[in-house]
Structure 1
Amino acid sequence: MLNPLIDEIFELILTKQVWQVHTLAAQLSHQGAIATLDQSPERDLFKRNFLIMNALYQLQAQLKPQNLIISTLHIELLEKEIKHLLVTSNNLRDYYLDWNNYDTSEQQVEELLNSFWRRFKVTPKQHALTNKKYNELILKWDLPEDFTLKALQKRWRQLALQNHPDKLNGCAEKFKKIKLQYEQLKTAAR
């Protein structure tokens, strides 16, 4: 199936040297080329990104593949072909070119997002948790043992609002400690 966003995206990448998926999405929305695709915010985001990545990979196939660099954080149309260009994973390209993946369930979208954040969030060694410390933090933060990233983020926001130094009873040291704990717990979220 030919993606209707191909022409819109091609025109955009001709106007600016480097794009990112989220900046393309924002510009396409601003131009009215892409509307709300799902009532669920997570599925809407997934579907927007899917359509954009699908269009980019279709466009790449229409051009010389070496002329279009595609990654979520760097999309660039090159003037000259580069012979030794780092090639994007075939698995990723195949995933986005398979239209069966467009209508992914909300649970699958949440799993994909959590997986994405776990892969790209590298925790420095000094932030690593022992099992004992992990269990203590779960109790202290009043989280279930199998907490999700979404539940952790909600709890983090509650604690941050209570302890932020700009608040009446806030404390900078306590806020920093909670922020560190949050970073430690994020690596364990599902």
Structure 2
Amino acid sequence: MLNPLIDQIFDLILTKQVWQVHILASELINSGAIKSLDKNPDRDLFKRNFLIMNALYQLQTQLHPQTLLVSALHIELLEKECEYPLTIKTNLKDYYLNWENYDASAQEVDALLTSFWERVKHADTTVTLTKENYDELTAKWELPTNFTLKELQKRWRQQALKNHPDKPSGCEIKFKKVKGEYEQLKAAAR
């Protein structure tokens, strides 16, 4: 089924490169494209977000999977293709493309919200590098085995300048990957 919000969302993402779902929702509500969808506020929020995510994933498929980056907290229309393919959480994409999920009951919505907040509450933000991963990253980053924080920061700046999306050779996906590796190495250096 073709989502009626696809054209409005496409028009919006053409005006600004980076979005978040709640900002898109506000714009769609203000323009009158989305009205109240349910008397229950939680189900209304769920249905609104479902329609937006469904439209985004349909757009991603229509444009090209490597052109539209979609997650709840970061939606970005990339200006150029990166050599890294985007990592797509197919279970999330599959969920939002299945129209049967749109009519989730109040209990299902409550369970989803509870599960989400539990994951956020108990999320382990520290990443532990194994010896193998540590060795791979230090070699990849061309760092000595017992590197200093100053050496790591210097390499980070070089990598950031090389991969930043605003640079001709840059790529958003590469930049985020390098940033993640930097955070892991920085945590391991302490």
**TM-score w.r.t. length of structure 1:** 0.63
Indicate the residue corresponding to 2:74 in structure 1.
74
Indicate the residue corresponding to 1:49 in structure 2.
49
Runs of at least 5 residues in structure 2 that lack an aligned partner in the other structure: 125-190
Q: Which amino acid aligns with 1:83?
A: E
Return the offset for 1:120.
1.5
Indicate the residue corresponding to 2:112 in structure 1.
112
Indicate the residue corresponding to 2:25 in structure 1.
25
Q: How does 1:1-190 map to 2 (within 5 A)?
A: 1-122=1-122
Return the offset for 1:122.
3.3
* More displaced stretch, 76-85 vs 56-65: 76-85
Partners of 1:54 and 1:89 lie apart in 2 by 14
Counterpart contact for 2:65–2:86, Cα < 8 Å: no
* More displaced stretch, 86-95 vs 48-57: 86-95
Partners of 2:19 and 2:88 lie apart in 1 by 16
Listed one character per residue, the Cα deviations across residues 149-172 of structure 1 (whole Å, up to 9, x for unaligned) are xxxxxxxxxxxxxxxxxxxxxxxx
Listed one character per residue, the Cα deviations across residues 115-171 of structure 1 (whole Å, up to 9, x for unaligned) are 0111112378xxxxxxxxxxxxxxxxxxxxxxxxxxxxxxxxxxxxxxxxxxxxxxx
Return the offset for 1:17.
1.2
Q: CA RMSD in A?
A: 1.2
Counterpart contact for 2:66–2:86, Cα < 8 Å: no
- Secondary structure of the residue aligned to 2:81 is coil
Counterpart contact for 1:17–1:77, Cα < 8 Å: yes
Partners of 1:61 and 1:25 lie apart in 2 by 21
Listed one character per residue, the Cα deviations across residues 53-100 of structure 1 (whole Å, up to 9, x for unaligned) are 000000000011111000000000011011214412101100000000
Listed one character per residue, the Cα deviations across residues 94-120 of structure 1 (whole Å, up to 9, x for unaligned) are 000000000000000000001011111
Instruction: Tell me the matched-pair count.
Output: 124
Listed one character per residue, the Cα deviations across residues 17-37 of structure 1 (whole Å, up to 9, x for unaligned) are 110000000100000000000
Counterpart contact for 2:37–2:44, Cα < 8 Å: yes
- Secondary structure of the residue aligned to 1:27 is helix
Counterpart contact for 1:66–1:83, Cα < 8 Å: no
- Secondary structure of the residue aligned to 1:102 is helix
Partners of 1:123 and 1:31 lie apart in 2 by 36
Partners of 1:113 and 1:29 lie apart in 2 by 22
Q: Which amino acid aligns with 1:34?
A: I
Partners of 2:39 and 2:99 lie apart in 1 by 20
Partners of 2:58 and 2:81 lie apart in 1 by 18
**TM-score w.r.t. length of structure 2:** 0.63
